[in-house]
Amino acid sequence: MPQGKTSHLVVHVGDRKTGSTSIQEALATKRVSVEGKTLCYPSRMAHNYLRHELASTSDLSKTSFQSLMENIYKEGADFTILSSELLELVDPKRMKVVKERYFDQVSDSVQFLAYLRPHAARIVSSCAEQFKIGTHQGGLEDFFLKTMKNREYYYYSRVSRWKEILGETYVLRPMIRSELKNSNVVDDFLHTAFQGHPFSIAAGASANESLGLRDLMLLKLIHRFTQDHPPQKRLQIGWTIAQLINEDEDEDKNEPQDKLRIHRSLAERVAKTYRKDAKKVDAMMFDGRSLLQAELDKAVDTAPVAAQSLEPEDYFSPNERRAIVSLAKTIGRLMGMNGVAPHLFQSRVQAMHDSIYDI
Q: What is the pLDDT of residues 40-69, one digit of tens each?
A: 999 999 999 999 889 877 788 878 899 999
Give yes or no for a contact between 241 and 133, defined as CB atoms under 8 angstroms apart.
no
| CA–CA dist 313, 317 (Å, integer) | 7
Mean pLDDT in the chain?
92
pLDDT at 352 > cutoff 50: yes
Report the C-alpha gap between 359 and 352 in whole angstroms: 12
- Provide the pLDDT for residue 355: 56
Cα atoms in the Cβ-side hemisphere of radius 13 Å centred on 26: 21
CA nearest to 261, candidates 198, 208, 217, 304: 304
The helix (run of H) or strand (run of E) holding residue 257 is: none
- Is residue 113's pLDDT more than 80? yes
Q: Which residues pair with 199 in a beta bridge?
A: 34
Closest alpha carbon to 310 in 258, 354, 272, 358: 258
What DSSP character marks residue 209? P
Bridge-based pairing of strands 32-34 and 170-174 is unpaired
Which pLDDT score, from 0 to 100, does residue 106 have?
97
Torsion (CA) 26, 260, 267, 139 in degrees, nearest 10: -120
> Higher model confidence: residue 357 or residue 154?
154
pLDDT beyond 50 at 1: no
Asked if residue 76 has pLDDT above 80, the reply is yes
pLDDT of 351 reads 62
Provide the 10 A C-beta neighbour count for residue 108.
10
Assess whether pLDDT exceeds 50 at residue 38. Answer: yes
Q: Are strands 39-40 and 170-174 parallel, antiparallel or unpaired?
A: unpaired
User: According to the model, what pLDDT value does residue 250 have?
Assistant: 58
Does residue 136 register a pLDDT over 70?
yes
pLDDT on residue 359: 38
The pLDDT assigned to 58 comes to 74
pTM given for the model: 0.91
Q: Is 227 helix (H, G, I), strand (E, B) or coil?
A: coil
Q: Which of 11-20, 165-174, 187-196, 206-215 has the lowest mean pLDDT?
A: 206-215
**For residue 185, what are the contacts with CB-CB under 8 A and spacing of at least 6?**
18, 19, 22, 23, 115, 175
Per-residue pLDDT band for 357 (boundaries 50, 70, 90) equals very low
358 falls in which pLDDT band (50, 70, 90)? very low
- Whether residue 254 is predicted with pLDDT greater than 80 in this model: the reply is no
Backbone angles phi, psi at 89, to 5 degrees: -90, 0
pLDDT in the model for residue 251: 52
- Check whether the bond before 91 is cis (ω within 30° of 0): no
Name the residue among 137, 113, 325, 333 with its Cα closest to residue 216: 137
The whole-angstrom distance between residue 157's C-alpha and the CA centroid of its chain comes to: 20
Secondary structure of residue 20 in the 3-state scheme:
helix
pLDDT of residue 343: 65
Q: What is the mean pLDDT of residues 248-261?
A: 74
User: Which of the two residues, 249 and 180, has the higher pLDDT score?
Assistant: 180
DSSP designation for 37: B
How far does the chain reach from its first CA to its final CA, in angstroms?
Answer: 29
How many whole angstroms separate alpha carbon 174 and alpha carbon 332?
Answer: 39
Residue 59: the pLDDT is 83
pLDDT band (50, 70, 90) for residue 316: very high
Rounded distance between C-alpha atoms, residue 71 and residue 73, angstroms: 5
83 and 13 in contact (C-beta within 8 Å)?
no
